[in-house]
Structure 1
């Protein structure tokens, strides 16, 4: 049962992101801002630190491909960014303390890098024509606020779950 808990959590978060967008449309907040839930990426970051860096990169690769296949027209953007950011995150966290607050803050920076990377790729292939300052105010800041609220609620449970998963992998 412990072996399947983490994959089920990631599948749930993958589905939760799309459900969140459907259930809570932007009109609820009465603004033109776009809040993108990156709950899955936050969980991958926490797995990378509290679980196993190799597992974090592998889950990033798998769910990056799945994300590209389901949500985007172009294969490769998330397939490259998810594992790349997980790898960078693992290396940065070797230098910093691994307490929940630091991991959450660096996770938000990783989510910001993901958003900027996706924006730049969309700008490069002419899917969007939004300038960067407009992107920051309309999409990046609201996305970071939403994901910060999510991390306040989920950081400690993620930490506990992934530490248990790491112990299970070591003892298996």
Structure 2
């Protein structure tokens, strides 16, 4: 694996997250549901499990900082949560089998915890006034379903790519 391919691939996921909803045809989602693509963190989870734990945490830190700088007004939420979630996934996967189905399920649980953490932080600092049941129905469940679909589609290609990266590191 080319040493520039990993940062370029993760940067592509970073950009795709921001333009994903704009690329969908108008009227695809006529309801007031909020879909939040978390493709980057899913890729970081797969990197952590199939590639290298240290790289997963480092890229979680770097892209968490970039995410905070570009998309939020508060530095620290994603800067803290991305590497923390990558570390948690690496610890969970030491107990569980490194099966692609298990990694996909753990990734979706990681996305769910990330969404809950971001919501709670925004609620604590009064950046949102949305109550929890409204958050679950409006944003949480649609986000989980979208990211589950992405995970199912991208799991095998991500696994293969990061296994090649791990082989490249051992050489």
Partner of 1:66: 66
2:35 match: secondary structure: coil
Partner of 1:39: 39
Q: 1:162 and 2:144 equivalent? A: no
Deviates more, 1:17-26 or 1:47-56: 17-26
2:121 match: secondary structure: helix
Cα deviation digits, residues 38-80 of structure 1 (max 9, x gap): 0000000000000011110000000000000000000000000
Which runs of 5 or more residues in structure 2 are unaligned? none
What's the TM-score, normalizing by structure 2?
Answer: 0.97
Q: Is the 8 A contact 1:26 1:33 kept in 2?
A: no
Partners of 1:27 and 1:97 in 2: how far apart? 41
CA displacement at 1:23 relative to structure 2 = 2.0
Partner of 1:96: 96
Change (3 A) 1:38 1:18: same
Which runs of 5 or more residues in structure 1 are unaligned? none
Partner of 2:125: 125
CA displacement at 1:87 relative to structure 2 = 0.3
State the Cα RMSD in Å. Answer: 1.2
Write the mapping of 1:73-152 to structure 2, written as runs, cut at 5 A.
73-152=73-152
* Structure with the higher fraction of residues in helix conformation: 1
CA displacement at 1:94 relative to structure 2 = 0.2
CA displacement at 1:25 relative to structure 2 = 7.5
